[in-house]
Each structure stands twice: as structure tokens, then as C-alpha cells.
Amino acid sequence: MKLHVTDLEGVEHQVDAMLNWTVMEIIRDGDVPIRAECGGSCACATCHVYVAPEWLDKLPPMESEEQDTLDGGFDVQPNSRLSCQLIMKPELDGLKVTLTTDSAG
């Protein structure tokens, strides 16, 4: 499986995605700098990403904890998600996300 991550300079990185890993872990282990200061515990918004619009309907619904945490982020958009809350599944192969000013490492 693959994950496509666009950094703040507009460079797209294609990284190998492991089944049942979070998108945040995949980005980090794919050598794309991401802050992710809380380590994936949904306690900060430093893994905030924008999900490409064509992928939004394929993602699980956002839980209230994720929404509450995102409320503390900057430039939150309708396609904003916390990458620590997105679990890689086969149906997400090829998922495209863009780092935000919150998450850029």
C-alpha cells in the first residue's frame, strides 16, 4: 500500500504504508518530517493534515475527541483530520494528504 504526502513546499512524497498503522506513523517512518508531538494520543493538533477531497468519503467518521483536538489547530478546513486518528486499511491504498503549518516538522 502507498500513502502520498505533500509537504509545505508542494513536494509529494510516496511512502510505503503498513496495514493498521496510523497515517501519522506512516508519515514519520517514511522519513517525511511531521511534528506529532503527543505521539498519536489525540492530545494536540501537530499531526493535522488536509485530506484530498476525493478521499474524504472513504475515511471513517471523525470522533468527538478528534474534533475537539482539531478545534485547537490552525487553518482548520472541512478536509482537516488528525493523521494519528486515521488507520491505514486496504481501501485507503493511495490516500493523499497534505501537511499543514501545524504538522510540518
pLDDT (tens digit per residue) in 16-57: 999 999 999 999 999 999 999 999 999 999 999 999 999 999
Instruction: With cut-offs at 50, 70 and 90, classify the pLDDT of residue 102.
Output: confident
The pTM for the full model equals 0.95
Pick the CATH number of 2-99 from 3.40.50.720, 3.10.20.30, 1.10.10.10, 3.40.50.12280: 3.10.20.30
- C-alpha pair distances (Å), 80 with each of 1, 2, 17, 56, 93: 22, 20, 20, 10, 19
Domain edges within the chain: 2-99
Checking if the pLDDT of 105 tops 80, the result is no
**Percentages of the chain per state (helix, strand, coil), in multiples of 5:** 25, 25, 50
